[in-house]
Amino acid sequence: MPDLDGKVAIVTGAGRYRGIGRCVALAMALHGADVVITGSGRSPDTFPDEEKEMGWRDIESVAEEIRALGRKALPIVASAAKAEDSERLVAETKRELGRVDILVNNAAAGRGNDRVPFVQLEASEWRRVLEVNLTGTFLVTKYAGKAMIDQGEGGRIINISSILGRQGVPMQGAYSVTKAGVILFTQVLAMEMAPHKINVNCICPGLIATDRMKDVTKPGPLHDAIMGTIPLRRPGEPEEVGELVAFLAGPGGSYIQGQTINIDGGRVMS
């Protein structure tokens, strides 16, 4: 039997074709879970060229892929940074699928005008990144965690941080600080949830070949320089992150608690 058979997973930020969230959602389904997928309701005008050419429809397309695997899918447009959206997300999940067993906090702020020195960082950009990366993780966890406790059958919460939450990198300040916050949030939450048999862990991806990182992963001097910092000399694939999340969500992760796991080709190690 699939190791997640009968489970219901929520994966936030899962609408991009070349994104970690979509690959996590598909991994959940491949291992037997029904999946709720959220997106921010991106306008098709903002889609990458690849998505426009293929007629991609954000979380609706991911839902179709999940259903093609024989699992139930529930796409919900929701902003993780809004308490009312997070509460509605969990309520709709319980109403439509009956329960919440797994939460994957993947939604993250996209790169924007925050990638500047701290002394040049606008307060509005600081708040934007903070609200999505850290407040959003808190809010969705608040409501999903309460649902798991009420069920009384344990559960899994997996937070997606970043290796930038482990090391200081110039002009990545707002993102790095929030991702470091996710790591400590994971540890505190793991202590609080352990009595309820809810496992809480964190994953720190390194350079992953997603659409958001295409300027770094395409051939060129920047690509070559960054590959020189990665012992495995290649970017990771979002599918590899998806399989790690599925492992932590399954029986093999039952004795792993409060841990932060790098999936970075050895970059932080080096």
Classify burial at 1, counting beta carbons within 10 Å of its beta carbon; exposed 0-12, middle 13-18, buried 19 or more.
exposed
CB atoms within 10 A of CB 123: 7
Distance CA 64, CA 248 (A): 25
Distance CA 232, CA 137 (A): 30
Structure tokens at 149: 């406790």
**Is 175 designated active site?**
yes
- Cα dihedral sign, 167-136-246-70: negative
Beta strands at 8-11 and 155-160: parallel, antiparallel or unpaired: unpaired
Answer whether 254's CB lies under 8 Å from 248's CB: no
Distance CA 160, CA 111 (A): 16
* All residues at 6 or more sequence positions from 67 whose CB lies less than 8 Å from its CB, including other chains: 73
Answer whether 17's CB lies under 8 Å from 239's CB: no
Question: Which strands sit side by side in the sheet containing 102-105, from one edge to the other?
Answer: 73-77, 34-39, 8-11, 102-105, 155-160, 198-205, 260-263
User: Of 17, 143, 175, 255, which residue is the catalytic one?
Assistant: 175
Classify burial at 220, counting beta carbons within 10 Å of its beta carbon; exposed 0-12, middle 13-18, buried 19 or more.
exposed
Active site residues: 175
